[in-house]
């Protein structure tokens, strides 16, 4: 079994889910008392988020590179950046370490193709929804058309992430709003929806939506377990 490295803390609410899912999946595969071999470096999210708000991506990249090198130094054989938004800096992290870095959008793209969909909606932070780093990867590498909410709904989705979900606050009224946004995307032709923020599955589950849901936290964790247990075989790992 390979050692799974996790770059977490963005937020710790979803990092807990990564740890839980990875260990549950290893137990399902191996049974008995088995659990995952893993190491995690968890950053302080407050200064990271402050840099994001100021558009200081260079400084955010420095935080991630430092943490990724700590993960590798601790003995990890592969690395997960446990957040969708920070995959904007995926290439920079890859260049800073020698171990494979599993891209979260690849985990989603592989599953979307497996179920035969070609057009999906995307919910996430404003950075993930509005900037090209995430949608372009799905479109270019998997041929999946990605739809995002309109401007007002992007603001709403992002606000709920940062003002509620990363703080562990789960509100029924926010779930209803997310369901409305998802239904609007379905009305535009979305055949499924990507929960493209690792906190969103804390609010929305498959039973809440009328189309297939792609939980990126679960799919990313699952890809790491496959890599760890199946001789390092999974999809594209480095860009």
Going by C-alpha positions, the residue among 14, 228, 218, 5 that lies closest to residue 107 is 218
Give the residue numbers annotated as catalytic, written as ranges. Answer: 83, 197
Provide the β-strand partners of residue 41. 7
Contact 90, 57 (CB under 8 A): no
How distant is the alpha carbon of residue 38 from its chain centre?
A: 18
Cα radius of gyration rounded to whole Å, the chain: 17
Cα–Cα distance between 80 and 9 in angstroms, integer? 12
Provide the β-strand partners of residue 4. 38, 78
Cα–Cα distance between 195 and 124 in angstroms, integer? 7
Alpha helix (H) residue ranges in 31-115: 45-53, 57-73, 90-96, 104-114
């Amino acid at each position: 079994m390979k050692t799974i490295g996790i770059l977490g803390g963005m937020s710790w609410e979803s990092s807990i889910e990564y740890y839980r899912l990875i260990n549950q999946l290893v137990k399902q595969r191996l049974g008995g008392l088995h659990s995952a071999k893993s190491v995690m470096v968890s950053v302080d999210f407050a200064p990271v988020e402050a840099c994001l708000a100021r558009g200081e991506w260079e400084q955010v990249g420095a935080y991630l590179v430092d943490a990724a090198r700590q993960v590798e130094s601790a003995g990890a054989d592969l690395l997960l950046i446990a957040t969708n938004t920070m995959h904007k800096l995926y290439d920079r992290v890859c260049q800073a370490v020698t171990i494979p870095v599993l891209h979260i959008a690849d985990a989603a793209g592989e599953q979307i193709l497996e179920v035969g969909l070609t057009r999906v909606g995307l919910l996430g932070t404003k950075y993930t929804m509005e900037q090209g780093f995430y949608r372009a990867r799905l479109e270019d590498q998997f041929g999946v058309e990605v739809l995002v909410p309109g401007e007002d709904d992007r603001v709403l989705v992002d606000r709920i992430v940062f003002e509620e979900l990363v703080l562990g606050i789960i509100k029924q009224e926010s779930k209803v709003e997310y369901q409305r946004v998802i239904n609007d995307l379905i009305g535009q032709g979305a055949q499924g929806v990507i929960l493209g923020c690792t906190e969103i599955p804390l609010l929305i589950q498959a039973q809440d939506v009328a189309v297939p849901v792609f939980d990126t936290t679960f799919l990313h964790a699952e890809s790491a377990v496959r890599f760890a247990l199946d001789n390092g075989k999974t999809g594209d790992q480095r860009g």
